[in-house]
Amino acid sequence: MIPNIFVGIDVGASRTKVAILDYEKNLVGHAVKKSGTDFSNSAETCLSVSLKMADSSKRDIVSAVSTGYGRKNVYFTKETKTEIGCHAMGCYLYFPIATTIIDIGGQDNKIIKLNEEGRRTSFKMNRKCAAGTGAFLEEISARLDIPIEKMDGLAGQSENMVKLGSFCTVFSATEVLENIRKGKKIPDIVKGVFFSVIRRVLEMDSLTDNVVMTGGVVAHNRNMVKMTEEIIRREVLVPKHPQLTGAIGAALYAMEDSL
Q: Where are the domains of the chain?
A: 5-85+244-258, 96-238
H/E run at residue 11 = strand 5-11
Region 96-238: CATH code: 3.30.420.40
Among the listed residues 202, 219, 196, the one whose alpha carbon sits nearest the alpha carbon of residue 139: 196
User: Is-contact 207 232, C-beta < 8 A?
Assistant: yes
Say what the pLDDT of residue 120 is. 95
Specify the amino acid at residue 134: G
* Mean pLDDT of the chain, nearest integer: 91
Using the predicted structure, report yes or no on whether residue 48 has a pLDDT greater than 90. Answer: yes
State pTM to two decimals: 0.92
Confidence band (pLDDT; 50, 70, 90) for 163? confident
| Cα 250 off chain centre by | 14
Provide the strand spans (E) within 35-96. 61-67, 79-80
Q: How sure is the predictor about 127, in pLDDT bands with cuts at 50, 70 and 90?
A: low
Please provide the DSSP assignment of 98-115 as one string.
-EEEEEE-SS-EEEEEE-
Mean pLDDT over 20-34 rounds to 97
Long-range contact pairs involving 23-26 (C-beta distance under 8 Å, separation at least 24): 23/255, 25/93, 25/252, 25/255
Could you write out the DSSP letters of every residue in 208-248?
A: -SSEEEESHHHHH-HHHHHHHHHHHTS-EE--SSGGGHHHH
Residue 254, amino acid: A
Higher pLDDT, 52 or 76: 52
Question: By 3-state DSSP, what share of the chain in percent is helix, strand and coil, each rounded to 5?
Answer: 45, 20, 35
- Give the CA dihedral 210, 211, 212, 217, nearest 10 degrees: -170
Whether 148 has a pLDDT exceeding 70, the answer reads: yes
CA atoms within 13 A on the CB side of 211: 23
| Main-chain dihedrals φ then ψ at residue 88, nearest 5 degrees | -65, -45
Residue-wise pLDDT for 170-192, tens only, equals 566 778 878 888 889 999 999 99
Q: What is the mean pLDDT of residues 70-80?
A: 92
User: Picking from 17-26, 87-96, 186-195, which range would have the lowest pLDDT averaged per residue?
Assistant: 186-195
Using pLDDT thresholds of 50, 70 and 90, give the confidence band for residue 94: very high
96-238 shares the fold of 5-85+244-258: yes
Query: 3.30.420.40, 3.40.50.970, 3.90.320.10, 3.40.50.300: which CATH number matches 5-85+244-258?
Result: 3.30.420.40
